[in-house]
Amino acid sequence: MVSFDTTSQHLHPDRNIALELVRATEAAAIRAYPWIGRGDKLGADGAAVDAMRAFLGTVNFDGVVVIGEGEKDAAPMLFNGERVGNGRGPACDIAVDPIDGTSLTAAGRQNAISVIAVSDRGTMLDASSVFYMDKLVAGPEGIGVLDIRKPIGENLRALAAAKGKDVGELRVAVLDRPRHEQLIAEIREAGAGTRLMLDGDVAGGINAARYESRIDLCVGIGGSPEGITTACALKALGGFMQGRLAPKDDAERSRAEAAGLDCDAVLELDDMVRSDNTFFVATGVTDGGLVDGVKRKGPIIRTESIVLRGTSGTVRRISADHLAEKWLDERDL
């Protein structure tokens, strides 16, 4: 008879938990599918939140939401501090984003994904008091080479040398926002090309760390929740990541200080997630460079997901076919 150490089981995420988490991101993506291109991002987000919350309730773990949906998008569920799971498995911190890219979904654009990240209890940084974070993300070549405190041109030249490329061959992912106009200009002045993202910088950061991606670097100010979620994925990819909290005003800075956060400190990967025992799970809502979106094929709904495990450094892709009649109202299809 096989025996298990039940004490350690409740301290660390079990390796099989990833397949349970995938069911939750698949459910959120499928429920969001009828809302693609309909111009209603709140409707899409609400459907995804409901589905993810229902499936998380069946997962064999004791999760506490550290990076939640409720505060960010005024959702009634999956808020910071909420307990999720059936309470009988490992004790975990959890970050959720039922749709990273609600505006992309509403407009029918690419790169919307449904995301869950998990780490050991007490290891995920709670940066909820500051909405934005300045980030610098790359593959393993960036370790010991890049520094968020340096000018972008200097970082680009250093990364190009480490990757054995000319600067002109580098492609940098940046959110297309007015706040990044000067940054984009400096990237182009250095000779590198940009890949401007309308939304969804979790996928941008992961693509910057993936060896087969055309993106070499992801840089700029995006959501701090997305930064912590990305950090969980980087643990499996062996990539480089630094961040620095970017409060919008003095009031937000004061809230951060009251929460024990230093807005001037450079956050290394291990500061954002203090464990290598992480999972990152994402299912495509719309097509993108990371995963394909939900597709209806006759009586079948097809999803594609990616699962990254920090401890083993494993990246898995899961393609699943679901009977449409089990999921969707035919009037929506």
Q: How far apart are CA 40 and CA 46, in angstroms?
A: 10
Do both 182 and 264 map to the same domain?
yes
- Beta bridge mates, 297: 300
Count of domains for the chain = 2
H or E element that contains 308: strand 300-309
pLDDT digits (tens, 9 = 90+) for 176-213: 999 999 999 999 999 999 999 988 889 999 999 998 89
Same domain, residue pair 102 and 216 = no
Both 242 and 314 in a single domain?
A: no
Domain boundary among 251, 272, 293: 272
DSSP per-residue codes, 195-211 = EEESS-HHHHHHHHH-T
Condensed to tens digits (0 to 9), the pLDDT of residues 231-250 reads 999 999 999 999 999 999 99
pLDDT for 287 equals: 96
DSSP state for residue 294 in the 8-state scheme: -
Q: Which of the listed residues 249, 272, 295 is the one where a domain comes to its end? A: 272
Per residue in 27-44, pLDDT (tens digit) is 999 999 999 999 999 999
Q: What is the pLDDT of residue 76?
A: 54
**Within this chain, do residues 138 and 266 fall inside the same structural domain, yes or no?**
yes
Confidence of residue 333 (pLDDT cuts 50, 70, 90): very low
Domain membership of residue 116 (yes or no) is yes
Residue 119's pLDDT is 94
Q: What is the CATH number of the domain that holds 231?
A: 3.40.190.90
Q: Are residues 145 and 210 in the same domain?
A: yes
- What is the average pLDDT value for the chain, to the nearest integer? 89
- Tell me what percent of the residues of the chain surpass a pLDDT of 90: 77
Q: What is the pLDDT of residue 330?
A: 44
Query: Mean pLDDT across the stretch 111-115?
Result: 95
Q: Is the domain of 254 the same as that of 199?
A: yes
Listed residue (151, 159, 157) closest to 183, CA to CA:
151
Residue ranges of the annotated binding site for substrate are 100-102, 132, 177-179, 199-201, 223
Furthest C-alpha separation in the chain:
65
Q: Which residues on neighbouring strands pair with residue 304, listed in sequence order?
A: 319
Q: Do the domain assignments include residue 7?
A: no
Compute CA distances 100 → 97, 109, 143, 234, whole Å.
6, 12, 27, 17
CA 63, CA 165: separation in Å to the nearest integer? Answer: 43
Res 326 pLDDT > 90: no
- Detail the residues annotated as belonging to a binding site for Mn(2+): 45, 69, 97, 100, 226
Query: Is 2 a domain residue?
Result: no
Residue 10 binned pLDDT confidence (cut-offs 50, 70, 90) = very low
Q: Is the pLDDT of residue 7 over 60?
A: no
67: phi then psi, degrees, rounded to nearest 5: -115, 105
- For residue 13, what pLDDT is reported? 53
CATH code, 39: 3.30.540.10
Burial of 168 (0-12, 13-18, 19+ CB in 10 A): exposed
pLDDT confidence of 329, banded at 50, 70, 90?
low
Residue 15: band (very low, low, confident or very high) from pLDDT cuts 50, 70, 90: low
Residues of the chain above pLDDT 70, percent: 91
**Amino acid symbol at 113:** I
Distance CA 211, CA 231 (A): 17
321 vs 58 pLDDT, higher one: 321
CA 16 → CA 34, 118, 156, distances in Å? Answer: 30, 13, 39
Q: Which tokens in the block code for residue 268?
A: 């290394």
Model confidence at 81, pLDDT cuts 50, 70, 90, reads confident
Q: Is residue 8 part of a domain?
A: no
In the predicted structure, residue 69 carries a pLDDT above the cut 70: no
* Half-sphere exposure of residue 255: CA atoms within 13 angstroms, side-chain side: 13
Q: What is the pTM of this model?
A: 0.88
Name the binding residues: 45, 69, 97, 100-102, 132, 177-179, 199-201, 223, 226
Give whole-number Cα distances, 2 to 12, 89, 240, in Å.
19, 18, 39
Q: For 83-105, b where at least 16 C-beta lie within 10 A, e where not — what string?
A: ebbeeebbbbbbbbbbbbbbbbb
Domain span at 62: 17-123+277-326
Which one is predicted more confidently, 153 or 19?
153
Contact in structure between 176 and 204 (CB atoms under 8 Å): no
Residue-wise pLDDT for 285-316, tens only, equals 999 989 999 999 999 999 999 999 999 999 99
Q: What is the DSSP letter of 225?
A: H
User: Same domain for 166 and 262?
Assistant: yes
Residue 9 lies in a domain: no
Residue 72 has pLDDT above 60, yes or no: no
Position 12 scores a pLDDT of 54
* CB neighbourhood size of 36 (10 A): 18
